[in-house]
Each structure stands twice: as structure tokens, then as C-alpha cells.
Amino acid sequence: MPITKIKTFLDDRKIKYVTLKHSPAYTALEVAASAHVSGKEFAKTVIVKIDGKMAMAVLRASDRVDLPRLRRLTGADDLVLASEDEFQGLFPGCEVGAMPPFGNLYDMDVFVADNLAKDEEIAFNAGSHTELIRLSYADFDRLVQPKQMAFAGHV
């Protein structure tokens, strides 16, 4: 079960968190609505390729990645969205599109949108389309150490 890896990681570090089960949902906004979480507090994980290397862009469910801006901010020559075929094998045990924003567990850089970083708590997919985890943003930041940048645009 994919949530086990994340729970073990959080438990080993004595992080307080809540898990929530919800009806199956596949888009970030659907998950947020199904779990009764604000789209501003639900963190979606978007996989991008930065100069050929996979990375995570983490932002509010109600926002979109401004790819040209993220490319400029990272100093990359090339930055594109990764296709599901390109990344589905990188997250063992996770359902495609439900990967948690813990790039450190998957040897990936993580970039977080600056407006999401202002939230006291965040919720995110826990590896499936029916479970999520909620924890403080401060704990997420301390554990993942993402690079905070202004790359999100409103949908």
C-alpha cells in the first residue's frame, strides 16, 4: 500500500498528520472537493522534465504551472511537462497521478509554489486516488526542503 511508505517516513520523524479517505477522484480539484479540503490547501504534484531530469512542481490545486516562468526561475535550457508514460514507473506502489509531493523519497528535486508555502496546512494525495494526508506546511518544508518559487498561475 503506497501510504505505508509515507506514514513510516512521517512516523519515524514524529510528524503529526491526519489521513483521510475519500471517494475515488482523479483531478486535484475533484480530490479536494471529495475530501472537503479547500483547493487552495490541496497540493497537487506535477511532474516536469528539467533539462531531461524528472522533478516535482508542487502547487495549489486551483493553480497551474507557468512553464516558461519555471524554466526561467530554474535556469533550465529546457523544461516540459512529463507524460504519464515517462514517470509512471518512478513511483512504485503509487497510482498514476496520485504521487505524494515527497520528491526526496524518489530522488527528485521539488519546487513549491510560493503561494502554497503561505498556507498553515497542506493536504496531498497519499499514493492513491482514495487517500490523502494533511500536515503542517512547516513540517513538509522541513522534511522535503523544496525550492520555493513564484511559478503558479491561477487556472
Q: What is the pLDDT of residues 64-83, one digit of tens each?
A: 999 999 999 999 999 999 99
∠ CA 22-144-7, nearest 5°, is 40
Compute CA 40 distance to the chain's CA centroid, rounded to the nearest angstrom: 13
**Range with lowest mean pLDDT among 34-43, 57-66, 81-90, 133-142:** 34-43
Stronger pLDDT, 48 or 128, i.e. the higher one: 48
Contact status, residue 115 vs residue 152, Cβ threshold 8 Å: yes
d(CA 97, CA 112) in angstroms, rounded, equals 17
Is 50 exceeded by the pLDDT of residue 1? Answer: no
What's the rounded mean pLDDT across residues 39-60? 93
Q: What's the pLDDT tens digit per position in 102-126?
A: 999 999 999 999 999 999 999 999 9
What is the average pLDDT value for the chain, to the nearest integer? 91
Say which residue the cell 501510504 belongs to. 3
Residue 145 φ then ψ, to 5°: 50, 55
Q: What's the pLDDT tens digit per position in 87-104?
A: 988 998 888 889 999 999
DSSP state of 104: G
d(CA 89, CA 96) in angstroms, rounded, equals 9
Domains detected in the chain: 2-154 (3.90.960.10)
Query: Which residue in 101, 99, 80, 82 sits closest to 91, CA to CA?
Result: 99
Three-state DSSP class for residue 146: coil
Residue 85's pLDDT is what? 92
